[in-house]
A and B are shown apart, each in its own frame.
Chain A
Amino acid sequence: GQQLNQSPQSMFIQEGEDVSMNCTSSSIFNTWLWYKQDPGEGPVLLIALYKAGELTSNGRLTAQFGITRKDSFLNISASIPSDVGIYFCAGRKETSGSRLTFGEGTQLTVNP
């Protein structure tokens, strides 16, 4: 079953606002991935993190790999309407090969 707690479940924000979401676990992960899924599409990889404490940006997106290796967060700055979608975190444990564990997702709605 799911071992990643992702929050919040949903967010309703105004265009231009910043957004933050996070994933936590009781287990240690050695890779954190953040995906975005649009309706009717497969998830698209946004950011990959490989080291504890790593902070990585991709345009207006910034993600961090938690120091404890049990959490990660994703920030979106200056949101725009096309940021609407479901954001998933995914983690890979050292003991699970290439298999990923996914969070439950954060549904983001941006009001123009």
Chain B
Amino acid sequence: SAVISQKPSRDICQRGTSLTIQCQVDSQVTMMFWYRQQPGQSLTLIATANQGSEATYESGFVIDKFPISRPNLTFSTLTVSNMSPEDSSIYLCSVGGGGDNEQFFGPGTRLTVL
């Protein structure tokens, strides 16, 4: 499986600010995804990051709040904009594998908004 890294691993931010999270993969992948995991909860898909086109957002998530970039097949960023304490979560990127039937996850970015 691919080796996936995320930066930062954690951050504490003030409300109203924005944070950009980076996801780097050690090999070219077609599918990249961004998830949110709220405290004590399961994973919820935010969007699919498409290379060369706009991300595809799930219901309840919008581009203005969570802009995503996918400049190439090994890298993506997720920005959490105009943060509030409700945005405090773990943000995870994942990549498709096994013919995109499987997904492999990065270590996550733990965000706390004060």
In the assembled complex, B82 has its CB within 8 A of some CB on chain A: no
Q: Name B's A-contacting residues (CB within 8 A).
A: 1, 4, 31, 33, 41-45, 48, 58, 92, 94, 96, 98, 100-108, 110
B108 contact from A42, A45, A90, A102, Cβ within 8 A: A42
Whether a CB of chain B sits under 8 angstroms from the CB of A70 is no
| A66 sits at the interface (CB 8 A) | no
Indicate if A76 sits at the interface (CB-CB under 8 A): no
Q: Which A residues, 74 to 112, have Cβ-Cβ distances below 8 Å to chain B?
A: 88, 90, 92, 98-100, 102-105
A63, CB-defined interface residue at 8 Å: no
A105 to B38, CA, bound (A): 13
Q: Given A99-B48, A104-B41, 20 other A-B contacts at CB below 8 A?
A: A40-B107, A40-B110, A41-B107, A41-B108, A42-B92, A42-B94, A42-B106, A42-B108, A43-B105, A48-B98, A48-B101, A48-B102, A90-B43, A92-B101, A98-B31, A98-B48, A98-B101, A99-B58, A100-B45, A102-B44
Hey, which chain A residues are within 8 Å of B33, CB to CB?
Answer: 98-99
A45 touches B104 (CB 8 A): yes
Query: Is A44 an interface position by the 8 A CB rule?
Result: yes
Chain B residues whose CB sits within 8 angstroms of the CB of A41 once the complex forms: 107-108
Docked Cα-Cα span, A33 to B96, in Å, equals 13
The listed residue with most B CB atoms (<10 A of its CB), out of A43, A44, A48, A92, is A43
Instruction: Find the residue from A33, A42, A45, A98 having the highest chain B CB count within 10 A.
Output: A42
User: Closest A-chain residue to B44, C-beta based?
Assistant: A102
Chain A residues with CB under 8 A of B44: 102
